[in-house]
C-alpha cells in the first residue's frame, strides 16, 4: 500500500504542491513518524494532487454511505427491532397448508398473516395431494436450494403431512398411500434435513386432522368406473397416522400439534361441521387450526411468540409525537420567474 502525505484541508492545490515540494520528507516525519517511507516516490505535480483529492473525495463519500447504513440499522434497534430481519415462518405440507392461504375460507395462514403482518414474513410451501414420499423426493430439493442460497432463513418450520399418506391402500386414492413405517421414516428425514439446513429454526410437527366418514361414503357413491363406492380415507386409519406422527415427534424430541386428538375430542356433529368436504377445513375449521397453532407456538416457542406480537417498526402515531412536521422544515420555492405556457 502507498502511504500518501497528509494534504492540509485549507490549502489550495498550488499551495499544497509548493509545501510538499519544499520539504516532503519533513512533512512525512512530522505527520506520521511511525509509518514506513512510501514505497513509490510521490509525484507532487498539480495534476496528481488533483487526482489524489478526487480519490479522497470518493473515499469520504463511501465512508459516509457506510456510516449512514450503520446509523439506519441502529435506528431500527432503537425503535424496537433487535435485527434488520423479521422472523420468517416456513409452512410445508399438503392441501391443508396450501388451502390455508385461500381468503374466501379465511384460511389459517391468512389469519396469521393478517394478525402478524408487521411482525413476520410467511413462506408457504403447501402442495395439494402430496404425501411425505413425494414431498421428500420432489419438493425438498427445491426448498433445500431456497434455504441454502439465502432466499429465506426460517425461524420456525411446521411440517403438516399425513392426510394423504393415510389414504386407504384399497380405496379410491390408493396411489397416495404410504405405509405407516415409511411415513414415520419420511417425517424423520424431513426433520433431519431441516436441522441440517436451518439449524437455528424451531421445528413443529402437525398431525392430520379428523375425517368425516359419512361424507366420505357419500362421495364414494359419486365415483365413476372401478373406484365407484370406494372411500378414500377413514377417521380411524387417519388416527393411526396421527399417532405415528406423535410418536415420531417424541422420539426426535420435536413438539407436535395433535390436531387429530383436538378435533376428535369435540362432538362428532360439531367437528364435522368444520370440514368443507369431509377432509378440508372450512372457515370454522381454519379458525380452530389458527388458534391451536398460536397456542402451540406460545407454549413451545415462547421467544418466537413474543416476536409475533412485536412490530418491526412502530405506529406512525409515535412519529407524530416525536418527529412531527414543523414550519421550520419547509422548503420555500421561489416561483417568481416561472413562466407558464398558455
Q: Which residues are catalytic?
A: 95, 277, 280
Rounded distance between C-alpha atoms, residue 92 and residue 143, angstroms = 10
Report whether 206 contacts 158 (CB < 8 A).
Answer: yes
Beta strands in the chain (DSSP E): 88-93, 121-126, 154-160, 202-206, 256-257
Beta strands 154-160 and 121-126 are unpaired
HSE-CB of 126 using CA atoms within 13 angstroms? 22
Residues in a beta bridge with 204: 158
> Phi then psi for 90, rounded to 5 degrees?
-105, 125
3-state secondary structure of 310: coil
Q: Which H helix or E strand runs over 154? A: strand 154-160
3-state class of 333 per DSSP?
coil
Q: How far is CA 168 from the centre of its chain?
A: 36
DSSP H stretches of helix in 209-282: 213-221, 235-252, 259-264, 268-272
Amino acid at each position: 500500500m502507498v502511504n500518501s502525505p497528509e494534504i492540509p484541508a485549507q490549502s489550495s492545490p498550488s499551495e499544497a504542491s509548493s509545501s510538499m515540494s519544499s520539504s516532503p520528507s519533513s512533512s512525512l516525519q512530522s505527520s506520521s513518524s511511525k509509518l514506513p517511507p512510501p514505497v513509490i516516490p510521490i509525484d507532487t505535480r498539480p495534476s496528481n494532487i488533483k487526482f489524489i483529492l478526487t480519490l479522497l473525495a470518493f473515499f469520504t463519500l463511501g465512508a459516509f454511505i457506510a456510516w449512514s447504513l450503520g446509523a439506519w440499522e441502529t435506528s431500527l434497534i432503537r425503535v424496537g427491532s433487535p435485527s434488520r430481519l423479521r422472523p420468517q415462518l416456513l409452512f410445508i405440507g399438503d392441501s391443508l397448508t396450501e388451502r390455508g392461504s385461500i381468503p374466501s375460507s379465511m384460511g389459517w395462514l391468512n389469519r396469521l398473516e393478517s394478525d402478524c403482518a408487521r411482525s413476520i414474513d410467511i413462506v408457504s410451501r403447501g402442495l395439494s395431494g402430496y404425501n411425505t414420499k413425494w414431498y421428500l423426493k420432489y419438493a425438498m430439493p427445491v426448498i433445500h436450494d431456497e434455504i441454502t442460497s439465502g432466499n429465506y432463513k426460517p425461524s420456525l418450520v411446521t411440517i403438516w403431512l399425513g392426510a394423504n399418506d393415510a389414504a386407504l391402500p384399497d380405496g379410491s386414492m390408493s396411489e397416495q398411500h404410504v405405509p405407516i413405517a415409511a411415513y414415520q421414516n419420511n417425517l424423520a428425514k424431513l426433520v433431519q434435513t431441516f436441522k441440517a439446513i436451518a439449524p437455528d429454526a424451531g421445528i413443529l410437527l402437525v398431525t392430520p386432522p379428523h375425517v368425516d366418514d359419512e361424507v366420505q361414503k357419500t362421495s364414494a357413491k359419486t365415483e365413476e368406473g372401478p373406484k365407484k363406492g370406494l372411500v378414500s380415507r377413514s377417521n380411524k386409519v387417519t388416527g393411526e397416522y396421527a399417532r405415528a406422527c406423535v410418536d415420531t415427534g417424541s422420539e426426535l424430541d420435536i413438539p407436535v400439534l395433535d390436531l387429530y386428538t383436538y378435533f376428535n375430542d369435540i362432538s362428532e356433529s360439531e367437528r364435522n361441521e368444520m370440514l368443507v368436504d369431509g377432509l378440508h377445513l372450512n372457515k370454522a375449521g381454519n379458525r380452530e387450526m389458527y388458534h391451536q397453532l398460536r397456542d402451540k407456538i406460545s407454549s413451545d416457542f415462547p421467544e418466537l411468540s413474543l416476536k409475533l406480537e412485536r412490530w418491526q417498526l412502530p405506529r406512525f402515531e409515535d412519529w407524530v409525537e416525536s418527529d412531527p412536521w414543523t414550519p421550520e422544515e419547509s422548503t420555500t420555492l421561489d416561483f417568481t420567474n416561472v413562466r407558464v405556457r398558455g
